[in-house]
Amino acid sequence: MDWWSWVSLILLGAGIVLFALELVVFSFGILGTLGILAVGVSVVTALAGARYALASLGGGALLVAAAAAVLFRYYGKRGLWNRLVLGERQDTRAGYTPAPDYAYLLGRTGWAATALRPSGIGEFGGERVDVVSDGEFVERGEAIEVVAVEGRRVVVRPVAGSPSGGEAVR
């Protein structure tokens, strides 16, 4: 082998090492970019020594395959590989689960289980629902009425003449 082949193999090895370091050390892609440049220059230098270009590229391919096998074997059991590859299969048999339909609450009255500033939790017949007031502050325990339902958004307002504060309404 002439010196072109050695330079090519050294640059290829350096590129592989830089790629591996990019996986381990967070460098904003600098090491990965340098790795790409090193591999590119190794291909150019391998082709520059045209007499041994095929042997040099073949040796480089074997070196890449060996380095990849070592890296996958070493990092495959560690957390790094698990962060790069999805490890568990998601169950898609259940399919799409739509948002609950709260249209049946329209016009019902209940009470504010938490203060509504403007959002909080309302209770309607023992069922706790995330609600939003129509703009007013509603104290905890105050009677509320559902005035609008828009998908998952349940809009309420205080019932006129209901006791404010305390937990008189349940």
- 140-159, pLDDT tens digit by residue? 999 999 999 998 899 999 99
Neighbours of 97 (CB within 10 A): 6
Give 76's pLDDT tier (boundaries 50, 70, 90): low
Per-residue model confidence as pLDDT tens digits over 131-141: 999 888 999 99
**CA 107, CA 142: separation in Å to the nearest integer?**
16
Which residue type, as a one-letter code, is found at position 121?
I
β-pair type (119-124, 127-133): antiparallel
Q: Return the axis-axis angle of helices 53-75 and 3-24, rounded to nearest 10°.
A: 20
The pLDDT of residue 36 is: 84
**Cβ(116)–Cβ(132) below 8 Å:** yes
Q: What does the chain come to in residues?
A: 170
Question: How far is the CA of 107 from the CAs of 69, 75, 104, 146, 159, in angstroms?
Answer: 66, 59, 8, 5, 11
**Residue bearing the bigger pLDDT, 53 or 149:** 149
| pTM over 0.75, yes/no | no
